[in-house]
Amino acid sequence: TKPSKKRGGVEMDYSFPEGFLWGAASSATQTEGASQEGGKAQNIWDYWYTIEPEKFFQEVGPGAASDFYHQFKADVQRMADIGMNSFRTSLSWARLIPDGRNVNPEAVQFYQSLIDELLEKGIRPIINLYHFDMPLHLQEKGGWESREVVEAYVHYAKEAFRLFGGQVKDWTTFNEPIVPVEMGYLNHYHYPCIIDMKRAVQVAFHSMLASAKAIEQYRKLGHDGKIGIILNLTPSYPRSDDEADEKAAETADLFFNRSFLDPSVLGRYPADLTALLNQHHMLPDYVEGDMETIASHTVDFLGVNYYQPRRVQAKEHPVSNPALPEHFFDPYVWPERRMNPYRGWEIYEKGLYDIALNIKDHYNNIPWYVAENGMGVSDEERFMDEDGMIHDDYRIEFLEEHLKWLHKGIGEGSNCYGFHMWTFIDNWSWLNAYKNRYGFYRVDVETQQRSLKKSGHWFKGVSKNNGF
């Protein structure tokens, strides 16, 4: 490749737009710990762990996570040390509003100190409102199946904007709202472990409605920041260009990408999706005005999490009464696929470029950033040297290859303004607990000590040079 730009005397092959965000993402439940401290109420994860600890990898629950609640000051310094200019995390709803009504002063103090610390170090905070962690008392009222919970979320969002909106200029309503639908209402990986497509659709619709209502409130309050949503996009590739395979890929795209992407950005659901749901008697309940709310409160920007594509083929044995998404298409094992041998997910860097062009061509070229991309590795201590440093060259390569494709997408006009790695420090990942490590910093779960991995050193150079 021809070197494109020179920065600080360094020849850059891949240089990114001025002011590009370089950072990492995390979430409250996965990092904070202190799950029984500071006036926090239980969320579904705290509760689930108390009743079925054996479901969690090595029986490690969310109690301590990465101890961010206590170590955040030193951790923010660690972010600055590796050149992060931005950081996304979520607020814990159960911490901020434990009883569903009143703000918890200890939580306000914690989040206020965190935001102050980030701003002081020149790190732009991006604050997300919901990352899989429904307060237990609201789950007991039906979680996202209930309209009352949608209203409770709007109240929470308003309080968050009122408290921190003066300082925080980047907000997101949800992280990966399809995941609680997929994992909690179509699979047994998130509480409440229900398998019911109609209820799953209701959960999806109410999350979308809640997002639009939060955006409405944000704009009403007149803050001068921006509000968006973070979606995990899985580009769907058909086995072949046969009509049936292409149709299968389109259906997967409707369910897993466009069910949130279209209403969030364009303010409307794809007609093919509603027709399909209608045909199978799965349309959600809604009331007059809901569609107008969604149509009038679309996002200012998108965060995109990209890990792996979805490869599909037409169903070999079609089902007469499809009741679950997998009844509409079959997964397809692409013979040329490359796998992350330590996590089992396909690595397909070009997917990020395809996303970039899809946003440009079909979603008004809305401003967007990569809100998560990263490589999970199990038993990562096998790559540790005698000084305790993890030599994660595989992660550096993974990130560089994705960044190259992103660079190409930007070069072709896609409006991407940042790249966030998942994640800053190894963190607790739901049922997988500490099985797969993703961080620039390793966390020793016993001692809660942090140590920088080789990729952290690499990232520092990338951020400093705005490219590599």
From the candidates 176, 182, 349, 380, give the one annotated as an active-site residue: 176
CA distances from 157 to 99, 135, 151, 293 (A): 15, 14, 10, 16
CB of 400 to ligand BGP, least distance (A): 20
Single-letter amino acid code for the residue at 463 = S
Q: By rule CB under 6 A, what string of x and - marks binding of each residue 344-373 to ligand BGP?
A: ----------------------------x-
Subset of 51-80 contacting ligand BGP (CB under 6 A): none
Q: Which of 256, 422, 441, 458 binds ligand BGP (CB under 6 A)?
A: 422
Whichever of 351 and 376 has its CB closer to ligand BGP, that residue is 376
- State yes or no: residue 234 binds ligand BGP (CB under 6 A): no
Q: Residues in the chain, how many? A: 468
Do strands 170-175 and 226-232 pair parallel, antiparallel, or not at all (unpaired)?
A: parallel
Q: How far is CA 400 from the centre of its chain?
A: 20
Residue 295, SS3 per DSSP: helix
Chain residue at closest Cβ approach to ligand BGP: 429
Do strands 236-238 and 310-313 pair parallel, antiparallel, or not at all (unpaired)?
A: parallel
Q: By rule CB under 6 A, what string of x and - marks binding of each residue 292-311 to ligand BGP?
A: -------------x------
From the candidates 32, 349, 372, 380, give the one annotated as an active-site residue: 372
Q: Which of 20, 22, 27, 332 binds ligand BGP (CB under 6 A)?
A: 27
CB of 20 to ligand BGP, least distance (A): 22
Q: Which stretch binds ligand BGP (CB under 6 A): 219-227, 282-290, 383-391, 426-434?
A: 426-434
- State yes or no: residue 455 binds ligand BGP (CB under 6 A): no
Whichever of 294 and 352 has its CB closer to ligand BGP, that residue is 352
145 is catalytic: no
- State yes or no: residue 436 binds ligand BGP (CB under 6 A): yes
Whichever of 16 and 422 has its CB closer to ligand BGP, that residue is 422
- State yes or no: residue 376 binds ligand BGP (CB under 6 A): yes
Q: Which stretch binds ligand BGP (CB under 6 A): 199-207, 212-220, 331-339, 429-437?
A: 429-437
- CA–CA separation, 353 vs 348, rounded Å? 10
Whichever of 65 and 314 has its CB closer to ligand BGP, that residue is 65
DSSP secondary structure letter of residue 193 = -
18 is catalytic: no
Whichever of 236 and 305 has its CB closer to ligand BGP, that residue is 305
- State yes or no: residue 31 binds ligand BGP (CB under 6 A): no
Q: Which of 340, 304, 334 is nearest to 419 (CA)?
A: 304
What phi and psi values does residue 295 have, to the nearest 5 degrees? -65, -35
- State yes or no: residue 29 binds ligand BGP (CB under 6 A): no
Contacts of 171 (CB under 8 A, 6+ apart): 126, 127, 128, 129, 160, 161, 165, 218, 225, 226, 227, 228
Q: Which of 432, 448, 451, 460 binds ligand BGP (CB under 6 A)?
A: 432
Whichever of 232 and 313 has its CB closer to ligand BGP, that residue is 232
Contacts of range 49-57, beta carbons closer than 8 Å, 24 or more positions apart = 55/431, 56/431, 56/433, 57/431, 57/432, 57/433, 57/434, 57/435
Sheet holding 310-313, edge to edge: 236-238, 310-313, 330-331
* The two structure tokens encoding residue 105: 């002063």
Contact 240, 330 (CB under 8 A): no
Q: Which of 143, 136, 142, 144 is nearest to 51 (CA)?
A: 136
Whichever of 143 and 376 has its CB closer to ligand BGP, that residue is 376
Q: In the complex, which residues of this chain contact ligand BGP (CB under 6 A)?
A: 27, 30, 175-176, 232, 305, 343, 372, 376, 422, 429-430, 432, 436
Annotated catalytic residues are 176, 372
